[in-house]
Structure 1
């Protein structure tokens, strides 16, 4: 009986390992990704493409079906710290915004791909693509897109972005993946990191208008944008935006 129980336990373990292996196999490095201009940009696709948006691809918002605190980079699941998640998303947003600005003037242009490995390598690759786009703008005699004030990004139509879900406070908004991406693209332009308090699960960034926002991992709501400092009456410190 002991031998039978042992064999059964081993078989169960092997079955679990096989399921994990098959789940990871779906993230092939050769599988095409949705272009960054789409709502699922940077995520793996079945091979379809879109005619709209930048052609560059970036690791960005947390892929579906991954445990919290993991990202798919180079076809592999990597554990990431909250600070690394924020840096991945900010650098990807900056690259998207600048590439999009170049392609408005030169639709066929795209940055030269970088060789990279792991989380920090992906961050450096994002930064390289942003730098290439900025250099191309200078070659075209164009300036980088101006950084819009924080209140304009949060109140694009005169009222707070997104919707208020359930019992959330009026300043806690929920937006679609595409809206979250666009908001982060806007906020990332000209943003510079500033010290965040100990325990904050992400990073703080100061913008050219003097406002400060935070980007952090929420265990229940994924990546979240926090308003840390603003003087505009339409927005309050502590307002936040979650992604559906």
Structure 2
């Protein structure tokens, strides 16, 4: 039986298993989707050795960067971004190769264009983890100026306590790439001065569970338009399926 899966830790919030199992039913294919909830990336080789029917897997927090040393090959775009969220398993006789891709950038760009239309507002990226790299790459490709916001001071980045009224009003697109607000911690959100948001702001949250995060609620209260990460996930999942089953 063909096997697919997702690598991450923890995986209680993941939508992938349900999504792909429904896809298998729709396509009437005999396959299974497994959660590889590994507390250490060092357990990956053992897991791959045990799952001989595995054709590909998604990669989520916190392994989008840590998985790279375990790959035999990496797609140029994923290498440029420095983050992988999809791995294709290529078998040739007894030889097995792992090739990494980044489909987050595709899912993000397509869903963002649907959200903001032809506008190209300057953007703040909240968080600097693996997901944020795809977001930055997607913005750059669309010609959108951006700055990262991090808890720790870094060159050419803002810290959260540096976000003034002037900065918030200059950057009209704010993208949450942190896990804050994800179930079961729905009462958390990025610490930005929400009171300075207005109807010209767009808040995009990569979190999709819950459907409306506290980040989105606080933005909506100020008149900002909001969008969660579910459409992005659907788009990148379909791209993953295409990659895993490429001849």
Q: TM-score range by the shorter chain?
A: under 0.3
State the TM-score, normalizing by the size of structure 1: 0.25
